[in-house]
Chains A and B, each alone.
Chain A
Amino acid sequence: MKGEIYRVAGPVVTIRGIKPKMYDVVHVGHEGLMGEVIRIQGDKATVQVYEDTSGIRPGEPVVNTGMSLSVELGPGLLESIYDGIQRPLMVLQEKMGDFIQRGVTANGLDRERVWEFKPLAKNGDSVKGGDVLGLVQETENIEHKIMVPPTVSGTISEIKSGSFKVDETICVLSSGTEISMMQKWPVRKPRPVGKKLMPNRPLITGQRILDGLFPVAKGGTAAIPGPFGSGKTVTQQQLAKWSDTDIVVYIGCGERGNEMADVLNEFPELQDPKTGRPLMERTVLIANTSNMPVAAREASVYTGITIAEYYRDMGYDVSLMADSTSRWAEAMREISSRLEEMPGEEGYPAYLSARLSEFYERAGYVRTLEGQEGSITVIGAVSPPGGDFSEPVTQNTLRIVKVFWALDAKLAQRRHFPSINWLTSYSLYTQGLADWFTENVAPDWVPLRDHAMDLLQQEAELQEIVQLVGSDALPEDQQIVLEISRMIREYFLQQNAFHPVDTYCPFDKQYKLLKAISKYGEMATAALEAGIPMKDILSVESKDELAKVKFEEDFQSALDVVMTKMDKEFAQLGGK
């Protein structure tokens, strides 16, 4: 049956003459532009088209593939950069140059590349979905497990060993089913897992305010909302660089081209702190920038999470950053308004909240089908209009995620980075992770951190008084509180992502830094009680020197020098 275009209005095309199913992928027009059926009404169907539709006319042909939008999963995903519908941008560049033309198809996985397959399963084994058939060394540190597709099971009648292309058969089941190293999976459907588990290990990010005050668990969800220029992208990139995960999926969803170019430039040069290998070797990038078609932007988030699920199924810890989920929501809104659907709050479709929760629901710490443990941590940036968190995307997201890192324009303006507000942010994992921290960081880490949070809270209250009477009018013990909290903010919370040393702070260093500040606090309080004048306590030189130790290559010796001096200075004051 041959279909044809009835109407073209921007990225939305109405077709007639064929009877597709919902979400079927169709090719429209003489150039075969790719699109997805999003509404069926009588003899017509509406298609969102992933490419520019300029010049396309009614009457041009339409072909249905009968398949839903799927990604190709197999060796070769790592180190790739894709657009929102998994076309490799490198291949697009080879095929059509520096500007993206339309009507070009490209496979997600390279069909020519040969991989060395080492079987683990044997003839006669009975296998089910998710079982590992064998291994491929995808990058230096990542062993790619070739799994039985989730919907397949049976008894192995033949398994091969050696070099294969992704679409060559490496295993045959007695039913005759042939299995290759590549599987396809529809992006809008979550891949099945054995069981969801409670997240109980932190994602260590090397960012002091995140690890220290508002940790996210592996398999957890976090949102990072903030006005423009407040640090969403830098924070997400820091997480992509320094988190202790095995795999990173980074989605540039409706954001800047230069930011993606930056990642592409930097990641091959930077080292994974865990393995010492180039970061790119553990990374998959999806770049559907703001000027690329909106329908493909809508799909990019699904493409990304499906790839993340695939690596999770191998038993890896995956983290996924989506920058920005607001642009994804806007893509939904744009398509919805072209469909003349009934608009909900601020023009967003009524299903916004459902789509957001379905997406975050794909995060989690799980037992895989095969019985391994794997996780996907999802961190979504949110870009609220006017920086106003009461808008629908922020509000709907906050109802779902467990960690809220609230960016604050005021902090960004004074170059307090990361400009995460320590009073309004929260993590619902703090309690659940306490045991882990006590065991793995230091027995006194939890009380130390709680005390720091308490001081910051006190500071906020004192600041209100200072605004009325000035700080000199406060009692001396409260002035000490102000000073220690200033130190916590400036020495501990502030962290420069662009400083070669400070950009990544191991947990041990975080602990020592906070401990040192707390030590000054104790000595200062004691000195005050011993009757030492406030002015002398504040002019202890080592206190100011503590500001810079975090930048030192040799942190430990720099800290030792400062702390020895601090002991000496306080001894001279006669405090202790």
Chain B
Amino acid sequence: MTKEYKTITEISGPLVFLEKTEPVGYGELVLINLPDGTTKRGQVLDTSADLVAVQVFEGTGGLNEESGVVFTGETIKLPVSKDMLGRILSGSGEPLDGGPRIIPEDRVDVNGASMNPYSRMPPEDFIQTGISTIDGTNTLVRGQKLPIFSGSGLPHNEIALQIARQAKVPGSTEEFAVVFAAMGITSEEAQYFMEDFEKTGALERAVVFLNLADDPAVERLITPRMALTAAEYLAYEHDMHVLVILTDITNYCEALRQMGAAREEVPGRRGYPGYMYTDLASLYERAGVIKGRKGSVTQFSILTMPGDDITHPIPDLSGYITEGQIVVSRELHRKGIYPPINVLPSLSRLMNSGIGAGKTRDDHKAVSDQMYAAYAEGRDLRGLVAIVGKEALSERDQRILEFADLFEDRFVRQGRDEDRTIEDTLNVSWSILSELPEALLTRVDNKYIEKYHPAHKSK
């Protein structure tokens, strides 16, 4: 019944235009049969009674006007099943690991529908990542979207993997899974992830989607949607807590820009499409917890900032959508500090709901605020010292300057396999805060000073 059209009138970049079709649905999946017998897939971008525009995922190489076009009558769907766990799939969902095709329990539209805000449960379960700069000062909670903003050549992959290995909700034994989607990263980088997953046995609990640097860029627009569809399925149909790692968001946005240019759209800021905010939101907002359902989707994606510039449209628009960001710093990396996370521009907006008495510890918020204030001031003083010398500083300022060093050395710096409990993290915090005069601890209630300050505790 599905009719094949040979009415292509124009091929331009990743786009194919054809005419004289039956009415075709917007967003419909399209199969294109090439003269050499291969098949490519695409999606309807614009449809009218006279002309249809199709975006081809695997690229238009090899296509000509002889190619046959079949409209499938449905939007792009991902066959889903619990058996996806342990599998490696291509960026458009085909098995890459030589295993059998997934026998679907269901087929789900990859675009996902938007979650009704009324159905959302505000995320509040503390996830311990074992990394102090996250747990202590930028706490992650289940259902949050908290990307890593990094730069090329920085150890964001190590950090992401360390988190994937160590993340747990203290005291919980519920099922968890990792959905990993590579978008335009090199095969070497992908290998790095796969080896770590295999070594630690994480692969059994993971679904991997791979769109590598030499795979077509257009496919990248579908890959994260496939991954999030799999994640939602595992979370909401199989009650799992899913950690989604998308890497690299920057490559995704480049593909988006490329498509926009191919469609000859009016570009927005720095050539990226004007709708990039909305498009990125359609990915990031697919994190969350739903009232009355057990599972959750947490996103911890990687984004490399072009030129380390946080005001570049990709990190900028992301930051406006996500619930904070973990910023990896070249400066700290050069100093030899791992993980080189700069807490000052980092933020977890959901931290307040995940910490405190009964969740982490009663003094958590105050300790974090105090460290931020002192570290920020200490870093400013470093700039001043470079000009006027240390001697020109008041006694107070000198202590704060020293605090900044201690903070980087004892709080930020930790081993690649060092899995700190939240207690460890808060204890390290107090041990460095106690090096400051007590009168400077203006952010901490006296009751916490009495309870946790080493000078009082021992008494």
Spell out A's residues near B (CB within 8 Å): 6-10, 14, 52-60, 81, 89-90, 92-93, 97-101, 227-229, 252, 254, 256-258, 260-262, 264-265, 287, 289-292, 294, 327, 330, 333-334, 337, 343, 346-347, 383, 385-388, 412-416, 466-473, 490, 496, 498, 541, 544, 547-548, 551
Contact = CB atoms under 8 A, between A and B. Distances in A.
B247 to A, nearest CB: 21
Contacts, number: 219
A368 B130 CA distance: 60
A98 B290 contact: yes
Interface string B341-370: 000110101101100000000000100010
Contacts of A258: 120, 122-123, 143-144, 288, 323, 350
B390 to A, nearest CB: 10
B316 A385 contact: yes
B115 A327 contact: no
Contact of A99 (B112, B144, B313, B373): B112
Given A258-B323, A343-B266, A387-B311, A472 B394 contact: yes
A215 B352 CA distance: 28
B169 interface: no
Given A333-B274, A469-B392, A415 B376 contact: yes
B224 interface: no
Q: Which of A330, A385, A466 has most chain B Cβ within 10 Å?
A: A385
A60 B373 CA distance: 61
B376 A89 contact: no
Contacts of A55: 25-28, 74-75
B19 to A, nearest CB: 12
A565 B364 CA distance: 31
B1 interface: no
A254 B113 CA distance: 16
B278 A472 contact: no
Given A90-B118, A93-B116, A265-B122, A470 B442 contact: no
B268 to A, nearest CB: 5
Contact of B26 (A6, A56, A413, A414): A56
Interface in B267-310: 267-269, 274-275, 277-278, 281-282, 285-286, 288, 290-291, 293
A471 B381 CA distance: 11
Interface string B387-399: 1100011100100
B74 to A, nearest CB: 7
B433 to A, nearest CB: 15
A58 B277 CA distance: 28
Interface stretch (B41-49, B61-69, B197-205, B214-222): B41-49
A229 B344 CA distance: 12
A92 B118 contact: yes
B418 to A, nearest CB: 26
B26 A57 contact: yes
Contacts of B317: 385
Contacts of A57: 23-26, 47
Nearest to A410: B376
Given A330-B274, A333-B274, A287 B117 contact: yes
B111 interface: yes
Nearest to A334: B275
Given A289-B114, A333-B274, A56 B321 contact: no
A548 B387 contact: no
Interface residues of B, number: 82
B112 to A, nearest CB: 7
Contacts of A471: 394, 397
A471 B47 CA distance: 68
Given A8-B26, A54-B111, 20 more contacts: A10-B26, A52-B111, A55-B74, A60-B23, A229-B325, A257-B120, A258-B143, A264-B118, A289-B117, A289-B281, A291-B115, A334-B278, A385-B311, A385-B313, A386-B316, A413-B344, A414-B344, A415-B372, A472-B392, A547-B442
B103 interface: no
A529 B104 CA distance: 85
Contacts of B117: 81, 89, 252, 257, 260-261, 264, 287, 289
A297 to B, nearest CB: 9
A262 B323 CA distance: 13
B118 A89 contact: yes
Contact of A9 (B26, B266, B312, B349): B26
B383 to A, nearest CB: 8
A234 to B, nearest CB: 9
B26 A256 contact: no
Interface of B: 23-28, 45-49, 74-75, 109, 111-123, 143-144, 236, 265-269, 274-275, 277-278, 281-282, 285-286, 288, 290-291, 293, 311-313, 316-317, 319-321, 323-325, 344-345, 347, 349-350, 352-353, 365, 369, 372-373, 376-377, 384, 387-388, 392-394, 397, 439, 442, 445-446
A57 B119 CA distance: 31
B121 to A, nearest CB: 7
A415 B365 CA distance: 12
Contacts of A93: 116, 118-119
Contacts of B109: 54
Contacts of A52: 111, 113
A59 B23 CA distance: 7
A333 B347 CA distance: 30
10 contacts: A8-B25, A55-B27, A55-B75, A258-B122, A260-B120, A289-B285, A291-B282, A334-B275, A347-B267, A385-B313
B345 to A, nearest CB: 6
A357 to B, nearest CB: 22
B116 A89 contact: yes
A97 B75 CA distance: 21
A343 B48 CA distance: 24
Nearest to B370: A415
Nearest to A541: B439
A413 B109 CA distance: 40
Contacts of B144: 258
Nearest to B343: A413
Nearest to A54: B27
Nearest to B317: A385
Contacts of A98: 115-116, 119, 236, 290-291, 293
Contact of B49 (A7, A89, A551): A7
A490 B442 CA distance: 9
Nearest to B46: A9
Given A289-B114, A414-B372, A54 B75 contact: yes
